[in-house]
Structure 1
Amino acid sequence: MTCSESKVLLLVSMSALLWLLFLAFAGFVRPAPAMATSDFLYKNIFILAGQSNMAGRGGVVDNKWDGIVPFQCQPNPSILRLDAGLRWVRAAEPLHADIEHNKTSGVGPGMAFANAVKSKDSSIGVIGLVPCAVGGTNISEWMKGNHLYEQMVRRAQAALQEGGTIQAILWYQGESDTENREDAMTYKRRMVKLIADWRADLQSPNLRIIQVVLASGMGPFVGIVRRGQLGIDQPNVVSVDAMGLPLEEDGLHLTTAAQVRLGQMLANAFLNGMPSSPSTSNAQRICYPFFC
């Protein structure tokens, strides 16, 4: 090839490149669309259910959230949330903002849990969180046949439509049941029935339940509810004891830092299949047959 031919070839190549750039800027050549959150087919799904401490009141004072999101709760492209419209979106605090009506949600344990799981098990892939918690609710309102139960099952089933497996239900509830002695005394029986109904309706007989043992209550019977929670002896039920975690000034809701710690404890319980506690001094080791 002569020098003149080389120059001609170079000019043709440059002209072609310039033409492609023109087409791109003119809109004729478009880049491939970014992957939408719904394009993740398989999800490790976790149901977040219970009342206000699961919904999250970290950073909420006088019904206003301070907007502070700890680094342990920051968004991650592979942590999704099923919104109130049953659409998968990128998860971000507050997770329950569109689930709790007429209530102010803040930081809960969900994002800290998901980030902790991913940091300790990089192979887990996409995590799908399904917020279902509603503040101020008694366990009787969660029993089968009632609105909260049916809504939770409906959301759980919708979460499975695009592919995935429900790995666990994270349950933090019972503060409302401490106001009445009868509610407190019947808590264990109701909880056992609730677990059985969840597993039947979600067609998952071995579904893991990770329940939080109360750190506080709205009434004087916290001890009775806690004993009921600690006395649940069911396969694949693990308890995480929140007693000792810092509370907001109201003496009822966990602080933001406490919610982060709780999320990490829940992650350890899920990954290890064993309960955890905020400190060894008040740790209560619970060993269930399935895990021992």
Structure 2
Amino acid sequence: MKPPRQTLRLLLAAVASAAILSFLLLAPPDGLSPLSFLSSSPYAHRPKLLFLLAGQSNMAGRGAVVHPLPPPYRSHRRVFRLAASRGWVPAAPPLHADIDTHKTCGLGPAMPFAHRVLAAVPSPDSGGGGGGNDTPVVLGLIPCAVGGTRISMWAKGQPLYEFAVARTLAAVADGGGNLGAVLWFQGESDTIEIDDAQSYGAKMERLVADLRADLELPNLLVIQVGLASGEGNYTDIVREAQKNIVLPNVLLVDAMGLPLRDDQLHLSTEAQIRLGNMLAEAYLNFNSSRGPKL
């Protein structure tokens, strides 16, 4: 015996409602309510203060993903990520999931960095004032880091370098705004061979010069992270090279001493939060007397 037509309609409506409810409850990233996630953000098409995230696994993020996410990793209405498709999407970890695709990405320093930067620049619509600027700061993160890469793989003409430059130029061309800094965390793979370690400093200086030339930003700020660990026996040599970079507008934030995961190579989630705050402090201090970027 077939069920009455009205009963079928009610059953189908119930199933559809359940499916929609499941999507609303499960789809949004942490920190965004279902309705706000589905609605278009008023900040999505605003000019953004951009940050290029480059290097290897500790920048891509290998911190353990925990639920619920710690507050520094939750989505924010004014923080966006340039997806692999080069479209802006709400930033939510793992930021490099569609970039560093051959590894399992976790939590890195970029989201804590973004939260700390925004906390230092109150939005006018939050009642905190805008420091004389009525336009709220919107951040655009450009993930480009890939685990297990040596600095020679980031040289001009190599795929990783060209990929990062192309993504950055695309972000700016799309009304992205200004590039605030390059956040660079790399070098662990250059501690394996003595030749790589000894040539690290010269290659890093060449990389900075090439980025500034190709992005047409001669004073581009580059914040490099001093290694907390290495894959080989020459970590001290690479760290010394990082400390001895003499180019203007190149800062060093030292990660040595931050907690590592059990592999003794990758930073823990706690360490990534601390590193993100350290990077933000370096950026904010550098720009404290330079006025707003947007």
In 2: Cα distance, 1:176 partner to 1:250 partner: 15
- Which residue of the partner structure matches residue 217 of structure 1? 230
Displacement of 1:39 in angstroms is: 4.5
- Which residue of the partner structure matches residue 168 of structure 1? 181
Amino-acid identity (%): 52
- Which residue of the partner structure matches residue 262 of structure 2? 249
Displacement of 1:73 in angstroms is: 1.5
Displacement of 1:204 in angstroms is: 0.3
Is the 8 Å Cα contact of residues 50 and 179 (structure 2) preserved in structure 1? yes
- Residue 45 (1) aligns with residue 57 (2): no
CA RMSD of aligned residues (A): 1.6
Q: List per-residue Cα deviations over 1:6-55 (Å, max 9, x = no partner).
A: xxxxxxxxxxxxxxxxxxxxxxxxxxx95447742310000000000000
SS in 1 for 2:242: helix
Displacement of 1:101 in angstroms is: 1.5
What is the identity, as a one-letter code, of the residue corresponding to 1:195? V
TM superposition score normalised by structure 2? 0.78
In 1: Cα distance, 2:57 partner to 2:68 partner: 18
Is the 8 Å Cα contact of residues 46 and 138 (structure 2) preserved in structure 1? no
In 2: Cα distance, 1:39 partner to 1:273 partner: 27
What does 1:99-138 correspond to in 2, within 5 Å?
A: 99-122=99-122, 123=130, 125-138=137-150
Q: Which has the larger radius of gyration?
A: 1
- Which residue of the partner structure matches residue 253 of structure 2? 240
In 2: Cα distance, 1:37 partner to 1:134 partner: 31
Is the 8 Å Cα contact of residues 41 and 162 (structure 1) preserved in structure 2? no
In 2: Cα distance, 1:179 partner to 1:42 partner: 42
1:181 maps to which of 183, 194, 209 = 194
Count of residue pairs the alignment pairs up: 237
- Residue 145 (1) aligns with residue 157 (2): yes
SS in 2 for 1:96: coil
Q: List per-residue Cα deviations over 1:172-206 (Å, max 9, x = no partner).
A: 00000000001000000000000000000000000
Is the 8 Å Cα contact of residues 40 and 126 (structure 1) preserved in structure 2? no
In structure 2, do the counterparts of structure 1 residues 37 and 173 end up closer, same or farther at CA, with 3 Å as the change threshold? Answer: farther
Is the 8 Å Cα contact of residues 56 and 107 (structure 1) preserved in structure 2? yes
In 2: Cα distance, 1:75 partner to 1:142 partner: 30
- Which residue of the partner structure matches residue 59 of structure 2? 54
What does 1:62-77 correspond to in 2, within 5 Å?
A: 65-66=65-66, 69-77=69-77
SS in 1 for 2:237: helix
In 2: Cα distance, 1:68 partner to 1:257 partner: 14
Unaligned runs of 5+ in 2: 1-37, 123-129, 131-135, 288-294
Is the 8 Å Cα contact of residues 37 and 80 (structure 1) preserved in structure 2? no
Displacement of 1:67 in angstroms is: 5.2
Displacement of 1:273 in angstroms is: 1.7
What is the identity, as a one-letter code, of the residue corresponding to 1:173? Q
Is the 8 Å Cα contact of residues 54 and 171 (structure 1) preserved in structure 2? yes
Unaligned runs of 5+ in 1: 1-32, 60-64, 275-292
Q: Runs in 1 of length 4+ with deviation above 3 angstroms? A: 33-39, 65-68
SS in 1 for 2:213: helix
In 2: Cα distance, 1:158 partner to 1:145 partner: 18
SS in 1 for 2:173: coil
TM superposition score normalised by structure 1? 0.78
Q: List per-residue Cα deviations over 1:118-148 (Å, max 9, x = no partner).
A: 0112246100000000000000000000000
In 2: Cα distance, 1:146 partner to 1:97 partner: 21
In 2: Cα distance, 1:152 partner to 1:67 partner: 31
Displacement of 1:162 in angstroms is: 2.5
SS in 2 for 1:216: coil
1:155 maps to which of 160, 167, 170 = 167
- Residue 190 (1) aligns with residue 195 (2): no
Displacement of 1:250 in angstroms is: 0.1
In 2: Cα distance, 1:68 partner to 1:241 partner: 29
